Amino acid sequence: MAYAASGLICLSNTSIQSVWLLRTVDALGAADATGYITDASTAGSGKGAAGRGLKLGDIIFVQTVDSVTAPTSITAQSTGFVSAINATTGVGTVIFNVTTAP
């Protein structure tokens, strides 16, 4: 599967740092991949779709769920942070602090 923008929810937003929840049907390893979040920030030079406004260092709670829009189970979760945002494409990369999975 691929990243679903509807699964990324801002829980707290300040100009310095924000906290996000990312629900995905993908394994945690997929969400930990470079550029997984395709709409992290607005792409530079007006190219690409407008983004979500993630900032470097933002905290992200990631949950692997059975459905992004109406989850009934969580099979894994982790906490991570935004480690990179590509200014040209707007994609973001999350690095996990600790991974917990059954």
Strand arrangement of the beta sheet that strand 92-100 belongs to? 8-13, 18-24, 59-65, 74-85, 92-100
pLDDT confidence bin for 35, thresholds 50/70/90: confident
Query: What distance in Å separates the CA atoms of residue 97 and residue 2, rounded to the nearest whole number?
Result: 22
* Segment 46-88, tens digit of pLDDT: 555 567 888 999 999 999 999 999 999 999 998 999 988 888 8
Say whether pLDDT at 11 is over 70: yes
If you write DSSP's letter for every residue of 88-101 in order, what string do you get? TT--EEEEEEEEE-
Say whether pLDDT at 94 is over 70: yes
59-65 and 8-13: which strand pairing? unpaired
User: What mean pLDDT do residues 23-47 have?
Assistant: 81
